[in-house]
């Protein structure tokens, strides 16, 4: 048995048309032309949290913060942590350190202008810090971030860093300050890391598997069990985008099941934001 388990709730605040899988169908230049549903869907997420008493970290897209500042204030007013999810939802591995830094600053400024809050946490769009973009940690530390939650230690055709550690750990950076890394939840199965408890994995895999996997993580370690979702996953009536079959299957499958599954998880576990775990002892 590891240390006491801490369940962390994280919400990536972005609209249904801003996901990486639809970038060929929806240009960032056209985002303003699409009917936005992020305010209503994020409020639905906030209501879910209120019903169970869960608190979480909301990683807000800077574009959303700039366009809907009242939503950012509402998240903060309801007692949740605000954190950064980039401005334009561009994969970190597609940027240079300079453009990454500019994107961070623009996003953090939008969140601060809306809420008065200085954010200390970051999550990369589409889990896009990988073996080719580990330099991002140095930039994050230089920009004053305290923790990162971008590592998904799995093999996947679009994202993931299979060489990443599975549990919370310290990251040394070239600029001096350490970052705390909070990877997304996985279990070891048949010699591989298998994702669980978040996003499409929570929607598509049997809920019995999710419950079993989370209990196993608790027994194995459980220092921070990271559950994540997107507000658009609570919206089965969202407009459909014509995209390749694989993208549509990943995005739309079981949207109607997400809300009841989150209710069950929130009833079974006490959820907290990342900020509550920063500074706690982490086994090396």
Q: Which of 78, 6, 7 is nearest to 42 (CA)?
A: 78
CA atoms 186, 189, 192, 195: torsion sign: negative
| Fold assignment, 7-276 | TIM Barrel (3.20.20)
For 231-253, the pLDDT digits (tens) are: 999 999 999 999 999 999 999 99
Q: Are strands 169-171 and 56-60 parallel, antiparallel or unpaired?
A: unpaired
Residue ranges in the chain whose pLDDT is less than 50? 1-2, 284
pTM as predicted: 0.95
């Amino acid at each position: 048995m590891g240390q006491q388990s801490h369940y962390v709730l994280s919400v990536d605040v972005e609209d249904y048309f801003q996901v990486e899988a639809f970038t060929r169908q929806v240009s960032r230049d056209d985002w303003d032309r699409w009917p936005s549903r992020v305010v209503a869907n994020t409020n639905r997420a906030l209501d879910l949290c209120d019903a169970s008493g869960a608190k979480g970290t909301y990683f807000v897209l800077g574009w959303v913060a700039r366009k809907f500042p009242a939503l950012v204030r509402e998240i903060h007013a309801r007692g949740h942590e605000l954190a950064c999810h980039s401005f334009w939802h561009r994969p970190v591995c597609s940027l240079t350190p300079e453009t990454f830094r500019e994107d961070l600053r623009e996003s953090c400024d939008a969140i601060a202008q809306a809420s008065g809050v200085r954010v200390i946490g970051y999550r990369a769009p589409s889990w896009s810090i990988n073996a080719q973009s580990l330099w991002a940690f140095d930039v994050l530390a230089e920009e004053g971030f305290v923790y990162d939650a971008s590592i998904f230690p799995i093999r996947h055709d679009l994202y993931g860093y299979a060489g990443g550690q599975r549990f919370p750990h310290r990251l040394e950076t070239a600029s001096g300050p350490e970052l705390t890394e909070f990877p997304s939840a996985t279990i070891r199965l048949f010699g591989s890391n298998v994702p669980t408890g978040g996003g499409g994995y929570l929607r598509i895999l049997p809920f019995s598997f999710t419950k079993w996997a989370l209990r196993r993580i608790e027994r194995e370690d459980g220092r921070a069990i990271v559950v994540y979702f997107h507000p658009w996953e609570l919206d089965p009536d969202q407009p459909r985008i014509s995209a390749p079959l694989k993208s549509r299957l990943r995005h739309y499958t079981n949207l109607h099941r997400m809300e009841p599954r989150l209710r069950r998880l929130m009833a079974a576990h006490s959820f907290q934001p990342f900020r509550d775990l920063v500074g706690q002892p982490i086994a090396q």
